[in-house]
Amino acid sequence: MSLTKYNQKRDFKKTKEPEGIKKKSKGALRFVVQKHAASHLHYDFRLEIDGVLVSWAVPKGPSANPADKRLAMHVEDHPMDYIDFEGTIPQGEYGGGTVMVWDIGTYHAEANDDVSKDNALMKKQHASGSIKIVLEGEKLKGSWALVEMHGRGENQWLLIKHKDEFSGTDITYDPYSVLTGRDFDAISKGDDVWQSNRKKSSSTPKKIKKKDESAFSAADLANAKKLTKFPSGWRPQLATLADTPFDNQEWLFETKFDGYRSTAEIHNGTCHLISRNGLSFDKKYPEIADALSGLKQNMILDGEIVMEDTKGKSHFQWLQNREDNPDRGKLKFYVFDILYFGGFDLRGLDLLQRKKILQAVLPKVDSVIYSDHVVGNGQQAFKKAQKQSGEGIIAKRIASAYDTNKRSKDWLKIKTGKVQEMVIGGYTEPSGNRIGIGALLCGYYQNGKLMYSGKVGSGYTDDILKDLISKLEKIERQSSPFENPPKEKKVHWVTPKLVANIKFSEFTETNSMRHPVYEGLRTDKAATDVKLELPEITASEKDEPKPSAKKPTKKMAKETKSYTVADLKKFSKKVEFSNPDKIFWPKEKITKGDVIAYYNAIADYILPYLKDRPQSMRRTPDGIKSQGFFQKNVAGLVPDWTKTAIIKADSKSEPVEWLICNNKDTLLYMVNMGCIEINPWSSRIKTLDNPDYIIFDLDPKGAQIENIVKTAKVLKEILDGLKVPAYIKTSGGNGLHVFIPVKPKYSYEQTREFSHIISQMVHKQLPDITSLERLPDKRKKKVYLDFLQNGRGKTMASIYSLRPREGAGISTPLEWDEISDGLKLSDYNLFTIPQRLKEKGDLWKGFFEDAIDLKSVLKSM
């Protein structure tokens, strides 16, 4: 590889362009495609090989269609400093014209997993005239080939896209700069002129005029997923109850309406209103359905049907009893979200983007109203709701996607008063002049059982009493439906089918309602879905970390139990334990017996993440004072009762016998051998080449906790936008791990590529605090996005695994609400996790049920 031709074509007495200097290739190889408007428009395709950019001029540019074989003229090598150049080469100099960075990224030789071997392989491929690579760019992805054409003229090659999930006849590429989003005109009008010293011009490049943010165009649907048919069965996202209002610029605040939640499915000019549990509202509220019918575009709206008085206050009882008095009040449908529009699934867009589209497409009719919002000022919105005697407010995280049929902490409901849905399980007989019933006996479901929560004797009119008794008499039964029935006289029990809205002042310690008032029946919720609704989040502290258990102290260390072999025998009849009093952590006085006891206590939590996975045993039999060693081959070393499997870690290694940990006895056997840390494969023995999770290792290397947290949050936002579930845990040291469950039908190379793509997206947003460089010296005090952890045979400390480091840290699952600048990773350790598990349980329960189809996600990107 040489830069001689590059230097020869430039007279450095006349030009300030830099002399080409070869640099040593380190880490993942890079590529760039530069769109070049010189004498003729073309694309410069450049691959880093042996410290230079080996280059081809492609007149028509890359094509995703494997049938297109694009001519690529091999030209002189360029220096590595050229890789991110975007600007204007002055006229009169060689190559004068405008240059755009059309795509940029990393690449590797096809079928190679070892980055250290890529450069040598690429030198051989280039010399042979046949290059096969996998690109990991912003636009160009997947398998590509460059093939030299012999006998067709000097330096003529072909650029060809191989058939894979990134190929297709209908794929088009964004024409703009991947670095700045500019087109040629914007670049050429700027003052960024190519000069040899690479210094920026003293004048600032002109900014592109921003478009009107209130307008709605096709560009707003760029990140929405295109669907081939109209969706069905989408149910509304539900909010979580919070206790107090708050101010936060990352949240918006809407009115909480007192009515029936409904989606409006508008398809082929007909509107169907669907309740939150899938019932039709068409006949009940035909005025709303008629007002939305006749629209040309198909769409799905989310809102609330209410009945308002002349002052704009909604009345749930009026709505519930509308058939008896249809002229009382005005029926309205307040719309606050849009899920689908014109063939596009909008759920993955952030909230403000969806509301922008909604406001633009919602028809202007009196009975259908756009639900407006305020940003940041939640306390002011709450005070306004109180002043107007409203239900309360709904707080919504601006950056959140729409979670169909889920109750989310991205939406919070904050009520001005306490209102609870309750199941009617019986009623008492009236006394005095009262007709129908005396009081309703109400309750809620807990663990499948109906729990009594109080009787409701107020809030009724004569008409309501007559209506209730007619309904209750039809469902009377002999026995009480309550698990804890009240001791009341003259009781009539009923089958628990009816759900009532009850307003009350507070719950007692036994979860009984004080001062309850009946507000009406609900027909939009099944009785079995009624649970006791207590605040799950303190809204004023929602962005702060939840209180963790106490950190280890000297006192706690001294109180650690001393275990004998006799004590440990109670844990397993198969394992022969030894040296339980051996010190593993000198400072904390933690013994081998303590470690065995810990894994015995949490076996039920960790085993689901170890089952059927080969174990790469990291043995530290002398505790944290030694580095320890990895043992993979257990042939002839483990008892007959253990399960093993003969496996090749990779294509070049010899097959060895690996230990499989499927039960507590095997787990404790490993710990007794000195395995403080547990390291399973990412795949199971029946699908060894197909991992069932993808790893994002946020390795700090001296980075501040604020930067680690910021990186994790950006990663979460990107994954949320793709509707990809993200599970987070501490590393047990100074970093964080984010896992994605994936269906075990994709290769390690594919999952690693996905991790790399997402990591590049994170790095693009946070270039100053993150790094993709493998060499530690190149990423000091930056968060290393280590996507290379996704590989066959590569292992990482399991969830709930101890780490052989100072502080006895444990790789602990966290809630995303705990990820904040105040996060203290040292809080999650041997002393605190057992109690945390008792309080929170397994936060990753259901992890594997959330497995994504990687191909579907990639298609949506």
Question: Active-site residues: which are they?
Answer: 256
Contact 245, 414 (CB under 8 A): yes
Side chain identity at 820, as an amino acid letter?
S
Distance of alpha carbon 481 from alpha carbon 520, whole angstroms: 21
Residue 387, H or E segment: helix 378-387
677: DSSP letter: B
Q: In this structure, what DSSP letter does residue 809 have?
A: B
Could you please report the per-residue DSSP string of 215-259?
Answer: ---GGGGTTSEE-SS--------EEEEBSS---EEEEEEEEPPSS
What is the strand order of the sheet 374-376 is part of?
Answer: 238-241, 407-415, 392-397, 248-255, 374-376
SS (H, E, C) 473-499: HCCEECCCCECCCCCCCCEEEECCCCE
Q: How many helices (H) and strands (E) does the chain have?
A: 17, 43
Residues 6 or more apart whose Cβ sits within 8 Å of residue 389 = 313, 416
Residues whose CB falls within 8 Å of the CB of residue 680, separated by 6 or more in sequence, listed in order: 609, 610, 613, 614, 615, 616, 661, 795, 798
CA distance 26 to 48: 10
The first and second tokens of residue 153, run together, are 């003229």
Where helices occur in 648-704 by DSSP H, the ranges are 664-672
Question: Are residues 288 and 367 in contact, defined by beta-carbon separation less than 8 angstroms?
Answer: yes
Instruction: Please tell me the distance from the alpha carbon of residue 291 to that of residue 240, in angstroms, as a whole number.
Output: 31
Contact status, residue 459 vs residue 477, Cβ threshold 8 Å? no
- Rounded CA gap, 700 and 786, in Å? 10
| Alpha-carbon gap, residue 399 to 340, rounded angstroms | 18
Which residue's entry shows tokens 């952030």?
350
Total number of residues shown for the chain: 861
- Residue 718: Cβ within 10 Å count: 17
Q: Is-contact 476 492, C-beta < 8 A?
A: yes
CB-CB contact of 699 with 786 (8 Å): yes
Amino acid 2 reads S
834 Cβ partners below 8 Å, 6+ apart?
598, 601, 602
Closest CA to 625 of 656, 585, 676: 585
Task: Count Cβ atoms below 10 Å from residue 689 Cβ, excluding itself.
Answer: 12
Token pair for 637: 């070393």
What are the structure tokens assigned to 50, written together? 């042996």
Give the separation between CA 780 and CA 483, rounded to whole angstroms.
Answer: 61
User: Which contacts qualify for 816-820: CB closer than 8 Å, 24 or more apart?
Assistant: 816/716, 816/726, 816/728, 817/409, 817/537, 817/542, 817/543, 817/545, 817/546, 818/545, 818/546, 818/548, 819/545, 819/709, 819/712, 819/713, 819/716, 819/728, 819/736, 820/543, 820/544, 820/545, 820/709
Decide: 272 and 265 in contact? Cβ < 8 Å: yes
